[in-house]
Structure 1
């Protein structure tokens, strides 16, 4: 029990371990003292303190150059690892990079090149902040924001909430493959996002109000997959007008116009970095994605 108590309470002084490693690497006390800008007597005292702590001799001082004893050979590997971990920890704590995280959630169709560029510029300007960006369905993102799992959330919703930092009008339209001239007949094939998607629910509700039959021809997890399915003529879909400019689709006039949604920006904190990122995200949204560029913005 006494043996266990001794080693349970043993704490290595990094300065003593550094002296120990330097002597091994230099091959002598004199050369090690020169490397450390110290004196031979100081190093001898440090090694004596280390040997007293471990209760074993670490060097055979009669050998030239000095050699390790069996105890010294066992300790040297651990000494190097302890010093390496100490240096690693010190470097980590003195480097501010990634010392704070900002968790951002937004719909897939908002991940434009302009938004990505805004994220990249922000990380360059704020190396101390680690961005954690995720895409998903607006309802899921809104729930995660309210639960505190996201710091910033950009979501589509029927109406902006009172705590929205900014809110924009997001016009929607029925879309179909470019060049299509024939009307859709029952049952109407629909191209949609997965269950829980706001556009999906609107489509189903409006078609059922019109007393038409429908079926799901394609369900895609991303804007790109939905657009490709519409371009191929698999069915009709509802999408934001801002997302279809470069796609081979056209507005379908067969159905009643679909009401616009609100594109809202939420953030918990009001600190300088958060406000800067929110502003950086709002700018490309207001310029590139929303038809009406002069809608209300809330502080």
Structure 2
């Protein structure tokens, strides 16, 4: 009888993390391992499969056709593994849970994240709405959501906003802001910058305007979009320039070089956090938070950890 061949779940988790993060370096903190350890995991997985899973190049890594095929299976196997574990531990979640998510959070992968939650907990009914981060972080007891995902700009105003927030916050992701425009767009020296932004109630729009005022850079609102998708479409049409967090920048956009394109101000990072109004943290909410934290880290096993989150 031929020996049976098994996949190591931890190696499949490494594959998922590297594919989602886009590099070994970015995947390492998600897996709580060094870059060399993650590289060794991928090497072992490739050896086990007898196929190259990633192309390595100067611009980073990308999945090979074999890697693409395995990735789909890996997501299913890791999700099923976690589901079985949770069920055996009597940790199945069921009921209605309302999520409020900022429009700026990873627009291309939010559906994938929610799919992971649904696959692990088929009896959990999710209700998702798009909200402003200011509303999500208000922490008011009468909010109509149970868990929020907000974005905060880490500028000089961040500490003051933190003091006024009543929500419990768990930091999950930090990434840079960038000035972006359609590749053929060129700034005409001496003329005001045409801005593509969201309405003035948007915190990022307020930050852009405040930053340009502080640097005495003239501008005008060329297009006001109702949501991030509309903003991306306006940018693609070449209507002007805007500022977006790294994961919300659509493919094909050019990141402006402040030293070459035009004298644009430097930008801070943004931070995404899971937020829970004080009165909402029941067993259903805490269980779902564990799954969401695991999805962010790319490590499904972290969802089973019996440790308390570091709330602020």
Count matched residues.
Answer: 193
Q: Is the 8 A contact 1:145 1:151 kept in 2?
A: no
How far apart are the structure 2 equivalents of 1:150 and 1:262?
20
Give unpaired runs (5+ residues) of structure 2.
Answer: 1-92, 299-308
Whether 1:202 aligns to 2:210 is no
What is the match of residue 304 of structure 2? Answer: none
Shift of 1:243: 1.8
How far apart are the structure 2 equivalents of 1:121 and 1:247?
28
How far apart are the structure 2 equivalents of 1:282 and 1:245?
25
Give unpaired runs (5+ residues) of structure 1.
Answer: 1-97, 288-296
Shift of 1:285: 4.3
Over aligned residues, Cα RMSD in angstroms? Answer: 2.9
What is the match of residue 265 of structure 2? Answer: 256
Shift of 1:197: 1.0
Whether 1:102 aligns to 2:97 is yes
1:178-231 CA distance string (max 9 Å, x none): 144445543221100112212101110111112232211111122222112122
TM-score (structure 1 length as normaliser)? 0.55
Equivalent position SS for 2:169: coil
Shift of 1:127: 4.3
How far apart are the structure 2 equivalents of 1:106 and 1:143?
14
What is the match of residue 150 of structure 2? Answer: 155
Q: Which moved more, 1:232-241 or 1:105-114?
A: 105-114
More contact order relative to length (CA 8 Å, sep ≥ 6): 2
Task: Tell me: CA distance 1:258–1:280, structure 2 relative to 1, closer, same or farther (3 Å).
Answer: same
Equivalent position SS for 2:201: coil
How far apart are the structure 2 equivalents of 1:117 and 1:277?
16
Task: Tell me: CA distance 1:262–1:118, structure 2 relative to 1, closer, same or farther (3 Å).
Answer: closer
Task: Tell me: CA distance 1:146–1:262, structure 2 relative to 1, closer, same or farther (3 Å).
Answer: farther
Q: Is the 8 A contact 1:168 1:286 kept in 2?
A: no
Equivalent position SS for 2:273: strand
2:288 to 277, 281, 288: 277
What is the match of residue 310 of structure 2? Answer: 298
Task: Tell me: CA distance 1:113–1:282, structure 2 relative to 1, closer, same or farther (3 Å).
Answer: farther
Whether 1:240 aligns to 2:252 is no
Q: Is the 8 A contact 2:139 2:276 kept in 1?
A: no
How far apart are the structure 2 equivalents of 1:186 and 1:286?
44
Whether 1:119 aligns to 2:114 is yes
TM-score (structure 2 length as normaliser)? 0.53
What is the match of residue 191 of structure 1? Answer: 196
Within 5 Å, which residues of 2 pair with 1:202-241?
A: 202-241=207-246
How far apart are the structure 2 equivalents of 1:256 and 1:170?
17
Q: Is the 8 A contact 2:96 2:127 kept in 1?
A: yes
1:3-31 CA distance string (max 9 Å, x none): xxxxxxxxxxxxxxxxxxxxxxxxxxxxx
Shift of 1:286: 5.1
Within 5 Å, which residues of 2 pair with 1:56-71?
A: none
Shift of 1:152: 0.2
How far apart are the structure 2 equivalents of 1:127 and 1:286?
21
Equivalent position SS for 1:150: coil
Larger radius of gyration: 1
